[in-house]
Structure 1
Amino acid sequence: MKVVHVVECFAAGTAHFINLLTQYTSCEHVVIHGERADETSAETVKAKFPQGVKFIHWHHAQREIKPGQDVKALTELIRILKEIPRIDVVHLHSSKAGFLGRAACFLLGIKQVIYTPNGAPFARADVSPKKKSLYILLEKLANKLSGQVVCCSPSEALSYESIGIRTSFINNGTVLPAIPAPKTLVEPGEPFTIVTCGRITEQKNPTLFNQIASSFIHQQEVKFVWIGEGEREQRSVLNAANISITGWLPKEEVEKTVSAADLYLSTSLWEGLPFSVLEALSLGKCLLLSDCVGNKDLVKNDYNGFSFISAEEAVSKIKWLMQNRETLHQMEKNSREWSEKVYDIKVVSRQYQQLYAEIAGKSIVQHLQAL
């Protein structure tokens, strides 16, 4: 099968997700991609993909809604798709590629189309109600053109069902690292370390992270670590003295830092199904996650951590976990076991392989019927 991936945001979690699909599904993969040079260059992202993947630069793709530029991007995408022989499946990733891709496929008569939002645009908490209404209108319009919506988490699927769009879901997955060694007993004076990982943006809600950390400013035995980087304005929000910002680290260092921590904290406002949390889950971390789309799928209260709504609630849970280390360690074991059963990329990739085959098979049958 030849699977053509279309993505505007060729960076961070979305690019990682496509990378995993190219590694773990037995298909010929073509990636039509934009570039977010302010985050990372396309060449840097491409270097992490397996050999044999073909890349085509989608020059006019960009994030914001700009009608003139979007018409150019649509025209370019139509031209690119027309030049690719024998497409079995088109897999669209993220909202901009999802809209323009479904429009292009409709105009070209391509029906074997999947759209994975990886973060519903209308679930964003940083846009006005008017803009959310526009996003909902665009999603409904594109849904009538072509393809099927396959969300990356149950809660994302429910958010689409709530606006009247029928959908299914296949969870995001991750490569399971070696099982971490069991933690030894806490040494006297050893700090209780709380870690998060991701780009410092409004979506990740650094204001709430800082508020939680500030509640422990006078307790030297508690420290917070943010693995990642961001714009100066967002970075400056993390000003509590007990927060360390490491910047971006090599993957091995990220795993080492997360493994050594006592608790993984996410304060996100919205997500799809976050890879940073999936990886913490696979490393056997107890999770403390904000109750938002995506996050709520990865934590079961009293099983592998807790969800929370307010800073006060998060602070209360941290204090409770500090006093109940045996329960915390059991939650760590539960995280790893759950990850192995549900979020192993080998499990997830088999589901996508089957879906691709079903869609490609339907396309072949339709073609034969036409003949």
Structure 2
Amino acid sequence: MAKRKIIHLLHSIGGVDVYLRLVLENVNTDLFENIVIHGTKDTNKPFFDKNGNKVKEYKVSIFRDISIGNDIKSLFQTYKILKKERPNLIHAHSAKGGIIGRIIGKLLGIKVIYTPHAFSYLSTQNSIKRSLFLNIEKFLANGNSLLLATSASEKKRATEEVGYKDKNVIVFNNCIEPIVKIQSLTIPKTWPEAYICTVGRPSYQKNIEQMIRVLHEVNKEAKIHLIVMGVGPVSGQLKSVKNLIQELEMNNDVTLLNWTERTDVFNIINQSKFYLSTSRYEGMPYSIIESLALSKACVVTNCDGNKDLIIDNYNGFVIENDDIKGFKSEILKLLRDKELLDKLSKNAFTSYSENYNIKKNIFELESIYLK
């Protein structure tokens, strides 16, 4: 059987970049030829397939923010590449990749799978922008594309809010490889031995300000340090977070870490007591899957993705988004009750091994690609 050629189209940063690399490094190279089209300024790290060979890639003018000039330029650049490569399938990732992929797929008669990795209209409080982004998603829904949701709750949102027909939405849960070895830190350790942690840039989505307020309340009764990983170039609310830390006199209680190696993230999660997420929205967060794989209980907000991964009082706790008292109560419970923490931590690993191991689940994605 001839290989099916799949082109992945995306702005390759954060969780989307992790997703793509995991797929490329696990999908069957005897069945599929993968090619990547991504932005000129997103990643300089090459992509590799299952056999350790470099994956063919093209760079075009895809950027995170809206830019009429660059967006039109990227359409023409991508059209030219796709016309030359003539893939069997386009797998378009996130908002920009999804828009470009579906438009060009329609023009060239190429089928498209679109993975939103959390819909773009969730990313803003601005009602005009939110309406614009949602209407773009609605306009491009169905047609020549299937939506490949990263969680059951993302599928629910796609059918109930965006207007996808149920038959046009498939779920393939985000999943990762087993974490079999914890490597030494590549950065200096500047925090105390006892801590809890999170991964997420200071942004509207991750709502780190809420986490700081929760920690402030917790520390009135039981002192614990917080490490926030992922403070990078796309951190629109970093100043706000720093100001809040200063205002609440918490400089000694919080460590803000810049982007670092993924192995460092594993090391820090592995040594933490448990994991926190105060996100307003998610697709299905890798950091929580990684925490489950490392046997860490999680205390999370009740948003898409989080609520798919965490079962309340089984492998962690799920709290309503603005419930600071609820967060405080469950965090204190885990800090004070070692038996409970050990039980939830053990269940965390069971959740991972049964549901989110890509070595077991990659065949589902291959089947979707083949169909």
The residue type paired with residue 12 of structure 2 is F
CA–CA distance in structure 2, aligned partners of residues 78 and 169 of structure 1: 28
- Identical aligned pairs, as a percentage? 27
> Which residue of structure 1 aligns with residue 9 of structure 2?
6
Question: 2:105: which partner in 1?
Answer: 105
1:168 Cα shift?
Answer: 1.9
How far is the alpha carbon of 1:351 from its aligned partner? Answer: 0.8
**Structure 1 residues 237 and 55, CA gap change in structure 2 (3 angstroms):** farther
Of 314, 318, 341, 1:307 maps to 318
CA distance in structure 1 between the aligned counterparts of 2:335 and 2:287, rounded to whole angstroms: 23
Q: Does 1:247 align with 2:246?
A: no
Which consecutive unaligned segments of at least 5 residues does structure 1 have?
Answer: 181-189, 359-371
TM-score with structure 2 length normalisation? Answer: 0.86
Which of 130, 133, 149 is matched with 2:131 structurally? Answer: 133
Do 1:25 and 1:349's aligned partners in 2 also have CA atoms closer than 8 Å? yes
Summarize the alignment of residues 1-371 of structure 1 with structure 2, pairs less than 5 Å apart.
Answer: 1-7=4-10, 9-26=11-28, 27-35=32-40, 37=41, 41-43=42-44, 45-46=45-46, 50-58=52-60, 60-85=61-86, 87-110=87-110, 112-124=111-123, 126-163=124-161, 164-166=163-165, 167-178=169-180, 192-218=194-220, 221-230=223-232, 231=235, 232-237=238-243, 239=245, 240-241=250-251, 242-309=253-320, 310-358=323-371
Q: Deviations over 1:116-160 (max 9, x none)?
A: 001111223x33222222222111211244211111011111111
Q: CA deviation at 1:238?
A: 5.7
Equivalent-residue separation in structure 2 for 1:5 and 1:238 (angstroms): 40
CA-atom RMSD, angstroms?
2.1
Contact 1:206 1:237 in 2 (8 A): no
Please, which runs of 5 or more residues in structure 2 have no aligned partner?
183-191
Instruction: Tell me which residue corresponds to 1:367.
Output: none
Deviations 1:259-283 (A, max 9, x none): 1111100111111111111111111
Q: Which amino acid aligns with 1:236?
A: K
TM-score w.r.t. the length of structure 1 is: 0.86
Determine the C-alpha separation between the residues in 2 that align with 1:84 and 1:238.
51
The letter for the 1-side match of 2:197 is: V
Q: Distance in 2 between matches of 1:55 and 1:99?
A: 19
Deviates more, 1:47-56 or 1:317-326: 47-56
Q: Deviations over 1:54-110 (max 9, x none)?
A: 00011x22223344432222122111100114x122100001110111000101111
Deviations 1:282-303 (A, max 9, x none): 1110000111111111100010
Q: Which runs of 4+ in 1 moved over 6 A?
A: none
For residues 338 and 305 of structure 1, the distance between their equivalents in structure 2, rounded to whole angstroms, comes to 11
- The question of whether the paired residues in 2 share the 8 Å contact of 1:229 and 1:235 is answered with no
Structure 1 residue 218, shift from structure 2 partner: 4.4
Q: Indicate the larger mover: 300-309 or 170-179.
A: 170-179
Separation in structure 1 between the aligned mates of residue 171 and residue 25 of structure 2, nearest angstrom: 20
Equivalenced residues, count: 339
Q: Give 2:188's aligned residue.
A: none
